[in-house]
Amino acid sequence: MRVSVFWFGKPARSPYETQVEDFRRRVSRRWPAEDVALKPASGIREADQVAALAREADTLLARVPSRWRLVVLDAQGRSRTSANFAHLLQEIECQAPPGVAFVLGSDLGIASSLRDQADEVLSLSPMTFPHLLARLLVWEQLYRATDILGPGNYHRTRVS
């Protein structure tokens, strides 16, 4: 199973980019993984945000290979603990799809049609984060999931 994180925007020079790449490499020890930047819709963003979101959804769907699981990250999505997230990935892995695509929308958000097509809609938090930080959180949780599922010492359970 491959893992891809699709996001709308431009890579920026930042220490976070280095951390994103570090977590991506770590995830690749279990699943081949890629971080994919997509160009946000242009020309209509201010005039028609719904049309811009629809265009971005089309751009994304054209890039996600067939039979891949689609996981949209949205504040309105389902909250999961790190352990629950790891078990979701394990369930997906057992179903043997070619891959799973995690999607972060643009600054405009995610088209409702894309949310409706998703196999899972997850929330990182009810709070809003900058895209770079959200990407870092996704990659960190993906790595944490590999650690939970395999022998590792990164994830610590809480001691009461």
Percent of the chain clearing pLDDT 70 (strictly above): 96
Residue pLDDT, tens place only, 2-16:
999 999 988 888 889
On whether residue 159 sits in a domain, the answer given is no
**How many other C-beta atoms can be found within 10 angstroms of the C-beta atom of residue 55?**
18
11 torsion bin: left (phi>0), alpha (psi -120 to 50), beta (else):
beta
| Residue 21's CATH number | 3.40.1280.10
Model confidence band, residue 109 (pLDDT cutoffs 50, 70, 90) = very high
Write out pLDDT tens, residues 110-141.
999 999 999 999 999 988 888 899 999 999 99
pTM (two decimals): 0.92
Asked if the structure places residue 58 within a domain, the reply is: yes
Q: Supply the DSSP symbol for 118.
A: -
157 located within any domain: no
Asked whether residue 76 is domain-assigned, the answer is yes
Report how many domains make up the chain: 1
Question: Strand, helix or coil at 113?
Answer: helix
Contact (Cβ atoms closer than 8 angstroms) between residue 144 and residue 80: no
In order, the DSSP letters of 72-99 are EEEEEEE---HHHHHHHHHHHHHT--SE
User: What is the rounded average pLDDT of the residues 63-77?
Assistant: 96
Is position 156 within any domain?
no
Q: Say if residue 3 is exposed, middle or buried (CB neighbours under 10 Å; 0-12, 13-18, 19+).
A: buried
Q: Flag whether pLDDT at 160 surpasses 50.
A: no
Does residue 78 carry a pLDDT above 80?
Answer: yes
Grouping H, G, I as helix, E, B as strand and the rest as coil, residue 151 is: coil
Range of the domain at 106: 2-149
Tell me whether residue 65 is in a domain: yes
